[in-house]
Structure 1
Amino acid sequence: MSVFVDITPDESQVDSPVRNAPKNKWRGRATRAALPVLSVLVFGVVWQLVAASGVWNQTFVPFPSTVWRAFLDVSTTHDGVRGYAGYLLWEHLYMTLRRVAAGVIIGIVLGVLLGLVMGSVSWVRSVLEPWLTFIRALPPLAYFFLLVIWLGIDEAPKVTLLALAALPPAAVATTAAVVAAPVGLQEAARALGASRAEVIRDVVIPSALPETFTGIRLAVGMAYSSVVAAELFNGLPGVGGLVKDASNYNNTPVVLVGIFAIGFSGLIIDGLLRAAERRAVPWRGKI
């Protein structure tokens, strides 16, 4: 007589990876959300300790509470004073973002188009690549004063400076992406009767999109890093102008408020760009 013993474990006692997948997914999301919050808390504690140590004068390292009060003062009307220089913080930030948006859109559009041409036509790349490298190597202040001489002190030099800061990263990234487009796919498309324009539209551009998005993010970052320089002259209202004007009077809390405003808005914009990238090129990192 044969005796069969069922040694299959009870499903309720088995930790199934499939069953635990949602739990692990939420745990991962919670960890990713908690780590930035923890880093901010640690930064705040270290800042408080450094300010309380008395090693540096409060003019140079103010307490976090002092910066918070400066934020409230700049954001509201108090004692008959409206914000800073007659503008609230959101109005300063709005003007800065408007300038950045105009410069970045111009720089990215021209940079991506230039990158497509440079990546597709080798002699154009040979002619223009040194000039892009030259512009990319220049710090914004090196040519901003020249732009002021040429264009005046209104909005034109500010937008032009931001466009020149955004153009090279977008152009270089797009050029590299187009050059690296799979040759086999291009030849297969030509063999199937596709024209040059159709090959660029259906093969080159989709394959170049991931690197192009990286170039766009870099372009926005370059424009943001140049915004204070762009608002050196006639920059009020504007966060860069606010930072410069406050620094003239050693008003460190307001300077820090402006820096945080630029930094946090930059984080939000970069997050939006990453979300757009995930939607536009969902295959990135998966093939």
Structure 2
Amino acid sequence: MARVRLIALPLLSVAVFVLAWQVLAAAGWCGETFVPRPITVWRTAIQLSTTRDGVRGYQGYLLWEHLYMTLRRVLAGVLIGTVAGVGLGIAMGTVGWLRAILEPWLTFLRTLPPLAYFFLLVIWLGIDEAPKVTLLALAAMPAAAIATAAAVSAAPVGLIEAARALGAGRGQVIRDVVVPAALPETFTGIRLAVGLAYSSVVAAELFNGMPGIGGVVKDASNYNNTPVVLVGIAAIGISGLVIDGLLRAIERRAAPWRGKI
């Protein structure tokens, strides 16, 4: 019963949302440009995914090709950002003076909107893939680092002292006690990092973003093409849900002791 409820409630919420959307669009208060009908957005999604009358998708690329390029950029940025962030977090959580130095800089970077430094990255790195991946890595790194540092600092003192009493050295304590204890919260930080990278993807694809979902959204917005913008937003959101689900599944396998220590 619980599993049925777990599936039925999200589907019900989607149905209610689509119904409310249809009612608002049918009322005509905002106009088709601002609130297109759900069927219009669905047909647009079909058009972006197929070749019709010699027109292939959007700007010559199908929807899945745009999504693939965006996911490739996000994956590269998230991998770089989370690996660097987790490494920094472990170091900050175990070396107090290092945390005192780095945490203000990470917090400063975390509070900056992506556009605040994206143009600087374009000046430094050009308009190809480098500034896009760098932006996504910088968006992901602070969340992973701060969450990991907090988790490492909160590792159970009793387990650490027990390991030391059994003769474990500093490296062994970190490897066998601190890192496993911090792993669940580290995964939470990684999930936040992925979300922050996703929220930055449109900014990352402002320049030379074709193919890419962010480039599609940006280009379509220039022409008030709301259905295409909504399809792009849906593609980013749905793929983000899938990736978050995969991360939660990996977390359950990698850290089954969550909440038990």
Both proteins in one fold, TM over 0.5: yes
Offset at 1:71? 0.4
Asked if 1:57 is matched to 2:31, the reply is yes
Post-superposition Cα deviations, 1:24-69, rounded to whole Å, max 9, x if no partner, equal xxx1100110001101110110000000001011001000011011
Name the SS of the counterpart of 2:236 in structure 1.
helix
* The one of 100, 104, 117 aligned to 1:126: 100
The TM-score with structure 1 as length reference comes to 0.90
1:198 pairs with one of 172, 185, 191: 172
**How many Å separate the matches in 2 of 1:85 and 1:204?**
50
**C-alpha distance in 2 between matches for 1:72 and 1:62:** 15
Q: Who is 2:192 aligned against?
A: 218
Residue type of the alignment partner of 1:129? E
Alpha-carbon displacement from aligned partner over 1:111-153 (angstroms, at most 9, x marks no partner): 0000000000001001101000100010000000000000000
Secondary structure in structure 1 of the residue aligned to 2:110: helix
Q: Distance in 2 between matches of 1:286 and 1:195?
A: 25
Aligned residues: 261
Could you say what secondary structure the match of 2:258 adopts? coil
Say which SS state the counterpart of residue 194 (structure 1) adopts.
coil
Pick one of 16, 36, 55 that aligns with 1:81: 55
2:208 aligned residue (234, 242, 261): 234
* Structure 2 unaligned spans of 5+: none
Counterpart of 1:281 (choices 233, 255, 258) is 255
**Whole-angstrom CA distance in 1 between matches of 2:8 and 2:134:** 40
1:285 Cα deviation (Å)?
Answer: 3.1
The reply to whether residue 148 of structure 1 matches residue 127 of structure 2 is no
Aligned match for 1:265, one of 221, 239, 255 = 239
The percent identity for this pair of structures is 77
Shift of 1:284: 1.5
Q: Does 1:173 pair with 2:147?
A: yes
- 1:94 paired residue number: 68
Shift of 1:109: 0.2
Residues 29 and 286 from structure 1, CA distance in 2 versus in 1: closer, same or farther, beyond 3 angstroms?
A: farther
